[in-house]
Structure 1
Amino acid sequence: MTRVFNLSGGKSSACMTILEKPTRDDIVLFTDTGREHPATYKFLDEIEKQEGFKIHRAAYTHRRSPGLAGFDALTNWKRYLPNRVRRICTVELKILVARRYLRPLIGLRFEQYIGFRADEQRRDSNYRSTYKGTVTRFPLHEKGITKAMVDAFWLSKPYTLEIPPILGNCDLCFLKGKNSIIKLMALYPELADKWITDEKRSGNTFFPDVSYEQLLAIAKGRHKDFNLEEAQPAYTCHCN
């Protein structure tokens, strides 16, 4: 059975993939939302270069959003913004994109590998595969590998992901919560532009009570003496 490694672009899933030594018969898949930090794409390029395996990259497109891909394509034609209750982005940009990419290559029966660690038992136990007949494995959890061990792994490498964990996945995802988003905007105000554009184009907001433009205004008045390494998302993201 073909092995499919779900590589989110983060340190844990990358560590898992490298330790499992994917072969030419395996598929290492990164589903690109188009909202990752530039350092994530650089990290993926380095993995391919340093580890010697191919990373398959797939992104959402739609005929009603010509020339656009990922999050931009989705919100452009739907005119609907995902939120914490209706997270259509996870389904459309990750799950369905992976399904459409894999079906013509290997069908939908395979052994999928996910990078949940041993200290993320809730994520492991709550996971439900969307593929019937597919075997799901969590190698890091099986081997007792924790965040500290993943960090140690990357210290042994000549390259790493050069952003704090809170910047992983979609850079200003609403699931990170208002406080974390304000902190990120204070240090990286340029990241706010595309999210503000989404809200203005759709006439809606990601949060029911505040816009990203308002969050940016708050961020500009904040001190920048906080440590993003310690920032935690408000809600668990299943995109990775």
Structure 2
Amino acid sequence: MKPYVIEGPAQICFSGGRTSAFMLHQILAANEGLPPDCHVTFENTGKERPQTLDFIEECALRWSVPVHWLEWDGFLEGEPQSRPCFREVNFHNAARHGEPFAAMINASTMLPNPVKRMCTINLKIRTGSAFMRSLGFREWDSVMGIRADEPLRVARMRDPARDNTSGVPLLPLATADVSKRDILDFWKRQPFDLALDPQGDLGNCDLCFLKARYKLVRALINEPERAVWWIEQETKRSGTFRKDPPHYRDLLRAADFYRRQLSLAFEEEDGDSSVTDCYCGD
């Protein structure tokens, strides 16, 4: 069994995370480079963290592999049900302030949510599919970095009833029985790494609405400015990214509260070691 030996046509989906980067590295090693008719793509929403973009560029340069940076650029027929248009950009001119994401929300006239994940569908999946079709392919493998320790995702991708018009899923990491621990061990041995939390609390997409509330608040304690874009989108649509509250404005307030409490606790600790601990989370 040689899970990393692949044949084209294929789209190698590079999200910019450690797992998909590991997968790309293994494919390059097993095939002594990028196989014919295989294309590495990164679909940029404009809301990826700068560390993610830096990491993608470093992988491309260090491993001498071309990465196609793609951005959603409208619906072909002006309707959300139609195929998307895309533009190809690069590390230097890629959107960094959520422009493709905001434009897609405006064109769709609604916010994505956990049930209708239009961001993933349009900005990622359909944009990558449009790129492959632009090369003349009608069928291709979609090589994805889903690990063996993600059984629900593996089962969903391998479901015979799945719509594979955006590529037939190929899951080399699952086939090779790779786990998250394997990924982290690999990057510990490399001369470079993704400069983000190894446990994935922050993720590639800043403040993604699928993340747990406490993770979003934790991120906003350190980077409150990241809430601005999300608050603007909810305000424009008079809605929320999730049915269950809170709004991003409320998440920011919670982060501000905890930041003040932590600051006060540290000040009291420095000034008087006898002060009782602050239980601001109770």
SS in 2 for 1:175: coil
> 1:56 is paired with a residue of what secondary structure?
strand
The residue correspondences of 1:55-74 to structure 2 (distance < 5 A) are 55-62=67-74, 69-74=99-104
Q: Note the alpha carbon deviations across 1:83-129, whole angstroms, 9 max, x for none.
A: 11222112111121111111011413122211111211221111155
Distance 1:174 1:205, change over 3 A: same
Determine the C-alpha separation between the residues in 2 that align with 1:45 and 1:176: 26
Task: State the partner residue of 2:187.
Answer: 154
What is the rounded CA distance, in whole Å, between the counterparts of 1:125 and 1:5 in structure 2? 19
2:27 is aligned with 1:20: yes
Distance 2:120 2:129 in 1: 13
Q: Does 1:108 align with 2:138?
A: yes
1:51 positional shift? 0.7
Range with bigger deviation, 133-142 or 144-153: 133-142
1:190 paired with 2:220, answer no
Match of 1:233? none
The residue matched to 2:70 in structure 1 has which SS?
A: strand
**Whole-angstrom CA distance in 2 between matches of 1:124 and 1:29:** 21
Q: Which 10-residue stretch deviates more, 142-151 or 126-135?
A: 126-135
- Partner AA of 1:113 in structure 2: V
Match of 1:201 in 2: 236
Deviations 1:39-82 (A, max 9, x none): 00000010011111011111112288xx9842121123333111
Q: Secondary structure at the match of 1:80?
A: coil
Cα RMSD of the aligned pairs, angstroms, is 2.2
2:147/2:178 contact within 8 Å kept: yes
How far did 1:190 drift?
1.5
Aligned residue for 1:216? 252
Structure-2 residue corresponding to 1:51? 63
SS of the residue corresponding to residue 99 of structure 1 reads: helix
Any conservation in 2 of the 1:61–1:69 contact (CA below 8 Å)? no
Q: Which residue of 1 aligns with 2:129?
A: 99
For residues 19 and 94 of structure 1, what CA distance do their matches in structure 2 show? Answer: 23
Cα distance in 2 for residues equivalent to 1:191 and 1:216: 9
Partners of 1:24 and 1:69 lie apart in 2 by 33
C-alpha separation between the residues in 2 aligned to 1:157 and 1:106?
37
Q: Which has the larger radius of gyration?
A: 2
Unmatched tracts of structure 2, length 5 or more: 1-7, 79-94, 264-282
More contact order relative to length (CA 8 Å, sep ≥ 6): 1
For the residue of structure 2 that corresponds to 1:34, the secondary structure is coil
Aligned length: 223
TM-score of the two chains, using structure 2 as the length reference: 0.73
Q: Which residue of structure 2 aligns with residue 4 of structure 1?
A: 11
1:200-227 CA deviation, whole Å, 9 max, x = no partner? Answer: 12221223332111110111111569xx
Query: Which residue in 2 is equivalent to 1:139?
Result: 172
* DSSP-derived class of the 1:58 partner: strand
How far apart, in 1, do the equivalents of 2:117 and 2:140 lie? 26
Displacement of 1:6? 0.7
1:107 and 1:93 map into 2 onto residues whose CA distance is: 20
Question: In the alignment, what sits opposite 1:235?
Answer: none
Q: Is the 8 A contact 2:43 2:124 kept in 1?
A: yes
**TM-score w.r.t. structure 1 length?**
0.85
The Cα of 1:132 is off from its aligned counterpart by 4.3
Q: Please say which of residues 198-207 and 52-61 is displaced more in the overlay.
A: 198-207
Structure 1: stretches of 5+ with no match in the other structure: 226-240
Q: Shift of the alpha carbon at 1:133? A: 9.6
